[in-house]
């Protein structure tokens, strides 16, 4: 529905202008957009142009009181381009009204938020979501997030996060899609289409489609030592072959905006890096959206040591940044830089134009209240359908890491799935917390409205299973650490009893149970931003609890909460069943019930390698061979690339995840053993469900370029397909291999497919593959 708001004429001392809001700009051609914006910019003062580039802190804005907030004054002066992380459609409408009615030109604001994995209906953390390998489900999660956020006034989300990372010490791996660029690119596309709309020619046309902002451009996941915000230094070769693909995929999918990363790239902070922001992003990839800095990204360059606020603000704009998040370096200094000739008016115009274009594409000039339909929240947010979808996707994101019988070495049936009978004791610091279920970066979450594991299991299993509970331990013995790991309303209500008292209570509850579900691991804020760790073991008191539970002789399922790969050697050795549930979002508890009790067969596969110890990090499947590789199956060989104290293998490899059933792969059939440079070859395998349960399998295609002009990885993911197979059923899966799929960036960064031999590998994880050989002529 278009609304044609009245044109508002405001007389100022020297100027009489007409508000632009309310003009119908929908469905106009790019030429018409240019004309509209040119005419608007002709009316703008330098200060107003700079104002469009400003994204300040919203401060406390209360519904009905928007006018009295500090930011209101700036909005009325035309010194604000947008606001972020304001929640509530009425509040947002009030603020929009200020911009439209009280600022000289009535240019609408853009309202952003970190809608990272859902809005009020929360989906699994992105790392978990990626383990579903289900692009339709991932796109649907973004679609639902867009519907809910847009119903609440939001038109722009700071998502998807596309930073490839190989370092689980970095807490923000929870926000990304793991270590693989090919998968990361597919997910980037799915997310952008989910947010902005799948029809590339008509994205953002609807009022339930919102603008994506892919981040953090670039290489933020490669910080030294896994420490957040740390320095990145990387060859261009590695950048383009191993890190850039997901960002480029987001550009291709039409992402309307990008966010600069905090880190430096090649010695220059990304926020001032012209090569990155202009040469690569715009000139090489053709990005035509706008670039926003990350939070205080501009003023942080003073700490980086490249100048004062005026200098770094000018450098950012000159590099190709369009919007300044929070620093207020642009509003504070750009005018002076223009007067001093340090920034040209053309550069300012370009950035201002990009901001106005974004608002135009969103349809905000047509209807500034497009996202402010007061009837929508009740209808569109946290609905039954959305929650059902979230529950299904959560189940798909879980990764079954181990499932054996309770007697080691016996041929008895594996512990999972559990039978719906008897008494199940849910024990652990993560067992009865609501606020930790959604996981990190869930800004709009209704923290008290999602069931805890204990509550969810009780509800789902009512009348069949008696569910009991004990906390068993705190998160970690160090109270200060626990406080840091449970911020933002995610308290685990630290227990003041002694460790022994808590343990005794847990053992009493365990004594009355047939099965123990141990809900252990990280709290939600133990991963995410500013949550780097150097020790990735199960926290001390939780390990003691787990040992004591195992000693009872009862069957124990470790239901593992985590936002990152942990080091779980002891657990793998000693616990019969481990289900990694990440943080599954608002419906976590129900999804856990579905999977533990066999209504859903787990199908998640890891998208990040689990190392055996922290010293192996960075450990990733697509590494290079080196000149001194370790022989297959060996641990230590003198003068080979290895360690004295641990082998080179991960605990769980990339692509790994078990099911309640088993799958068998046939040998690979190639349509022809060789391929011309302009041709293609089809590689097929037959996958058979050889177990007793129906289930889904993710078949993965890897290649190895055996001889290159530069060294090539031992394996690279180049395709995947998730298939559902009934017990006993077989399906043939085919992958088309084209020269494009075999291409890489050579030494001079040309994208080439070099003739020669390639290993073609297909299997259920990066370690278990069938292999054949293909020659490219």
Q: Do the beta carbons of residue 434 and residue 492 sit within 8 Å?
A: no
Closest separation in Å from C-beta 4 to ligand BGC: 34
With respect to ligand BGC, which residue has the nearer C-beta, 478 or 529? 529
Whole-Å CA distances, 144 to 84, 255, 301: 20, 17, 36
With respect to ligand BGC, which residue has the nearer C-beta, 287 or 441? 441
With respect to ligand BGC, which residue has the nearer C-beta, 162 or 557? 162
Cis ω before 555 (30° cut-off from 0): no
700: Cβ contacts below 8 Å, ≥ 6 apart = 605, 655, 717, 719, 720, 762, 763, 764, 765, 766, 769
Binding string to ligand BGC for residues 221 to 260, with x set by CB under 6 A, is what? ----------------------------------------
C-beta nearest to ligand BGC: residue = 158
| Alpha carbons 222 and 188: distance in angstroms, whole number | 18
Strand segments (E) across 598-729: 663-665, 669-670, 674-675, 681-689, 695-705, 716-725
185: Cβ contacts below 8 Å, ≥ 6 apart = 245, 246, 248, 249
| b/e 220-256 (16+ beta carbons within 10 angstroms → b) | bbbbeebbbbbebeeebbebbbbbbbbbbbbbbbbbb
Distance of CA 94 to the CA centre of its chain: 31
Closest separation in Å from C-beta 623 to ligand BGC: 28
Distance of CA 143 to the CA centre of its chain: 15
With respect to ligand BGC, which residue has the nearer C-beta, 170 or 654? 170
689: Cβ contacts below 8 Å, ≥ 6 apart = 661, 662, 663, 695, 697, 725, 726, 727, 728, 729, 730
With respect to ligand BGC, which residue has the nearer C-beta, 261 or 622? 261
| Tokens (6 digits) for 620 | 């990733």
- The answer to whether residue 380 forms part of the interface with ligand BGC (CB under 6 A) is no
Closest separation in Å from C-beta 294 to ligand BGC: 5
Distinct helix (H) and strand (E) counts, the chain: 22, 29
Binding string to ligand BGC for residues 137 to 166, with x set by CB under 6 A, is what? ---------------------x--------
With respect to ligand BGC, which residue has the nearer C-beta, 59 or 740? 59
Give the residue among 135, 107, 136, 140 at the shortest CA–CA distance from 123: 140
Closest separation in Å from C-beta 131 to ligand BGC: 21
Count of residues of this chain found to bind ligand BGC when the rule CB under 6 A is applied: 6
Closest separation in Å from C-beta 33 to ligand BGC: 27
Binding string to ligand BGC for residues 280 to 299, with x set by CB under 6 A, is what? --------------xx----
| Alpha carbons 381 and 374: distance in angstroms, whole number | 12
Closest separation in Å from C-beta 295 to ligand BGC: 4
| Alpha carbons 103 and 352: distance in angstroms, whole number | 17
Q: Do the beta carbons of residue 216 and residue 260 sit within 8 Å?
A: yes
Q: How many CB atoms lie within 10 A of CB 76?
A: 16
With respect to ligand BGC, which residue has the nearer C-beta, 489 or 673? 489
Q: Which of 72, 97, 108, 114 binds ligand BGC (CB under 6 A)?
A: 114
Q: Do the beta carbons of residue 248 and residue 276 sit within 8 Å?
A: no
- Report DSSP letters for 283-297, one per residue: IIT---SEEE--TTT
With respect to ligand BGC, which residue has the nearer C-beta, 116 or 437? 116
- Report DSSP letters for 321-334, one per residue: --BEES--HHHHHH
Q: Which residues are catalytic?
A: 294
With respect to ligand BGC, which residue has the nearer C-beta, 295 or 643? 295
Whole-Å CA distances, 379 to 151, 210, 328, 387: 9, 18, 37, 13
| Alpha carbons 663 and 688: distance in angstroms, whole number | 5
Closest separation in Å from C-beta 361 to ligand BGC: 20
Q: Which of 514, 529, 599, 721 binds ligand BGC (CB under 6 A)?
A: 529
At 24 the three-state DSSP class reads coil
745 has which bridge partners?
Answer: 751
With tokens 């890489």, the residue in question is 744
Q: Do the beta carbons of residue 155 and residue 364 sit within 8 Å?
A: yes
With respect to ligand BGC, which residue has the nearer C-beta, 107 or 326? 326
With tokens 């500013």, the residue in question is 530
Closest separation in Å from C-beta 114 to ligand BGC: 5
Closest separation in Å from C-beta 215 to ligand BGC: 6
With respect to ligand BGC, which residue has the nearer C-beta, 294 or 594? 294
| Tokens (6 digits) for 408 | 């080691």
- The answer to whether residue 324 forms part of the interface with ligand BGC (CB under 6 A) is no
Closest separation in Å from C-beta 213 to ligand BGC: 8
- Report DSSP letters for 684-705, one per residue: EEEEEE-SSS-EEEEEEEEEEE
With respect to ligand BGC, which residue has the nearer C-beta, 114 or 366? 114
Burial class (CB within 10 angstroms; exposed 0-12, middle 13-18, buried 19+) of 697 = buried
- The answer to whether residue 215 forms part of the interface with ligand BGC (CB under 6 A) is yes
With respect to ligand BGC, which residue has the nearer C-beta, 529 or 540? 529
Considering only residues 171 through 200, tell me which ones interact with ligand BGC, judged by CB under 6 A.
Answer: none
Pairing of strands 324-325, 290-292: unpaired
Closest separation in Å from C-beta 103 to ligand BGC: 24
189 has which bridge partners?
Answer: none
Which H or E run includes 745? strand 744-745
Burial class (CB within 10 angstroms; exposed 0-12, middle 13-18, buried 19+) of 205 = middle
| Tokens (6 digits) for 270 | 């990304």
Interface residues with ligand BGC (CB under 6 A)? 114, 158, 215, 294-295, 529
């Amino acid at each position: 529905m278009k609304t044609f708001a009245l044109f508002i004429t405001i007389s100022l001392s020297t100027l009489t202008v007409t508000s632009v809001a309310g003009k119908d700009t929908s469905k106009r051609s790019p030429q018409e957009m240019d004309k509209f914006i040119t005419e608007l910019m002709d009316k703008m003062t330098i200060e107003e142009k700079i104002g469009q580039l400003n994204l300040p802190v919203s401060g406390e804005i209360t519904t009905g009181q928007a006018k009295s907030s500090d930011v209101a004054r700036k909005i009325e002066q035309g010194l604000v381009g947008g606001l972020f992380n304001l929640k509530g459609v009425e509040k947002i409408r009030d603020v929009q009204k200020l911009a439209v009615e009280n600022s000289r030109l009535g240019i609408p604001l853009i309202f952003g938020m970190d809608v990272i994995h859902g809005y009020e209906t929360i989906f699994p953390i992105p790392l978990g979501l990626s383990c579903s390998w289900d692009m339709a489900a991932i796109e649907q999660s973004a679609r639902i997030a867009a519907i809910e956020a847009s119903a609440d006034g939001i038109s722009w989300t700071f998502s998807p996060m596309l930073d490839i990372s190989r370092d689980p010490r970095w807490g923000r791996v929870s926000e990304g899609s793991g270590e693989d660029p090919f998968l990361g690119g597919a997910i980037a596309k799915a997310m952008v289409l989910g947010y902005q709309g799948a029809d590339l020619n008509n994205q953002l046309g609807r009022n339930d489609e919102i603008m994506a902002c892919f981040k953090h451009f670039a290489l933020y996941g490669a910080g030294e030592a896994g420490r957040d915000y740390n320095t990145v230094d990387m060859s261009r070769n590695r950048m383009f072959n191993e890190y850039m693909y997901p960002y480029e995929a987001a550009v291709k999918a039409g992402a309307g905006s990008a966010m600069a990363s905090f880190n430096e790239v090649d010695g220059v902070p990304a926020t001032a890096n012209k090569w990155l922001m202009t040469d690569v992003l715009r000139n090489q990839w053709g990005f035509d959206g706008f670039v926003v800095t990350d939070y205080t990204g501009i003023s942080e360059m003073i700490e980086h040591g490249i100048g004062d606020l005026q200098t770094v603000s000018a450098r950012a704009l000159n590099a190709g940044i369009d919007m300044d998040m929070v620093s207020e370096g642009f509003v504070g200094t750009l005018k002076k830089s223009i007067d001093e000739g340090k920034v040209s008016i053309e550069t300012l115009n370009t950035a201002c134009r990009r901001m106005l274009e974004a608002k135009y594409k969103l349809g905000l000039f047509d209807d500034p209240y497009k996202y402010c339909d007061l009837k929508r929240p009740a209808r569109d947010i946290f609905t039954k359908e959305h929650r059902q979808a979230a529950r299904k996707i959560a189940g798909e994101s879980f990764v079954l890491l181990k499932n054996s019988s309770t007697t080691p070495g016996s041929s008895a049936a594996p512990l999972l799935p559990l039978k719906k009978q008897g008494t199940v004791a849910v024990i652990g610091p993560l067992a009865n917390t609501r606020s930790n279920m959604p996981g990190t970066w869930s800004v709009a979450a209704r923290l008290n409205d999602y069931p805890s594991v204990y509550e969810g299991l009780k509800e789902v299993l009512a009348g069949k299973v008696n569910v009991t509970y004990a906390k068993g331990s705190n998160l970690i013995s160090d109270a200060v650490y626990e406080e840091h790991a449970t911020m933002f309303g995610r308290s685990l209500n630290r227990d003041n009893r002694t460790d022994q008292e808590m343990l005794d209570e847990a053992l009493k509850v365990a004594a009355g149970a047939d099965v123990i579900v141990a809900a252990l691991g990280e709290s939600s804020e133990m991963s995410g931003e500013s949550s780097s760790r150097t020790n990735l073991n199960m926290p001390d008191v939780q390990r003691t609890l787990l040992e004591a539970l195992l000693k009872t002789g009862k069957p124990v399922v470790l239901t593992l909460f985590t936002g990152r790969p942990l080091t779980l050697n002891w657990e793998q050795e000693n616990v019969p069943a481990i289900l990694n549930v990440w943080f599954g979002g608002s419906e976590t508890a129900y999804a856990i019930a579905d999977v533990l009790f066999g209504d859903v067969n787990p199908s998640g596969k890891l998208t990040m390698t689990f190392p055996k110890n922290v010293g192996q990090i960075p450990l990733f499947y697509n590494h290079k061979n080196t000149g001194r590789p370790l022989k297959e199956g060996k641990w230590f060989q003198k003068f080979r690339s290895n360690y004295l104290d641990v082998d080179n293998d991960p605990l769980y490899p990339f692509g790994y995840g078990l099911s309640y059933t088993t799958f068998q792969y046939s040998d690979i059939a190639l349509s022809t053993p060789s391929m011309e440079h302009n041709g293609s070859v089809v590689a097929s395998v037959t996958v058979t469900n050889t177990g007793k349960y129906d289930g889904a399998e993710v078949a993965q295609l890897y290649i190895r370029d055996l001889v290159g002009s530069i060294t090539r990885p031992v394996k690279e993911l180049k395709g995947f397909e998730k298939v559902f197979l009934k017990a006993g059923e077989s399906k043939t899966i085919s992958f088309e291999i084209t020269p494009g799929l075999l291409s890489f960036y050579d030494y001079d960064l040309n994208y080439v497919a070099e003739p020669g031999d390639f290993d073609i590998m297909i299997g259920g994880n990066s370690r278990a593959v069938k292999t054949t050989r293909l020659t490219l002529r």
